[in-house]
Amino acid sequence: QVQLVESGGGSVQAGGSLKLSCAAFEYTASAYCMAWFRQAPGKEREGVAVIYSSRSTKYADSVKGRFTISRDNRKNSLYLEMNSLKPEDTAMYYCAASLRNWNCPLRGENFIYWGQGTQVTVSS
């Protein structure tokens, strides 16, 4: 049974940094697309960043230049390094995994496995 376990969320002041981790079990992270999504209270879920099996990456415009998605194949883990955090980055962040290895638009329907989420709170 595939499991995605996120960690690394927390509270930080604006301008600060956090690094989220997602450990994958019964799933080969290197073979497929993986992504980070987020959802703030009262808002729709938003795709943040995706990494293809080729290690190509794509980002939402709102986080370009501030966030970096990466993968460690040996640890079978996904990461999201977040810098220059803003209050509007406050949300529950979810790790997501696909069974596609290319053409993985940042839409929820393209990902079939989801973690439980980790909260990120940025204060002004």
Per-residue pLDDT at 101:
87
**Which comes out higher in pLDDT, residue 38 or 101?**
38
Q: Give the chain's radius of gyration (CA, Å).
A: 13
Length of the chain: 124
3-state secondary structure of 61: coil
DSSP-derived letter for residue 124 is -
Mean pLDDT within 96-109: 92
Residue 117 in this model has a pLDDT that exceeds 90: yes
Mean pLDDT for the chain overall: 96
d(CA 54, CA 65): 20
How far is CA 22 from each of CA 14, 32, 34, 42, 48, rounded to the nearest angstrom?
23, 14, 10, 25, 14
Per-residue pLDDT at 24:
97
Contacts of 65 (CB under 8 A, 6+ apart): none
Residue 97: how many CB atoms within 10 A of its CB?
Answer: 23
Per-residue pLDDT at 61:
97
Per-residue pLDDT at 71:
97
- Tens digit of each residue's pLDDT (9 = 90 or more) over 33-77: 999 999 999 999 999 999 999 999 999 999 999 999 999 999 999
Residue 124: pLDDT band by 50, 70, 90 thresholds? very high
Per-residue pLDDT at 75:
96
Mean pLDDT within 7-35: 96
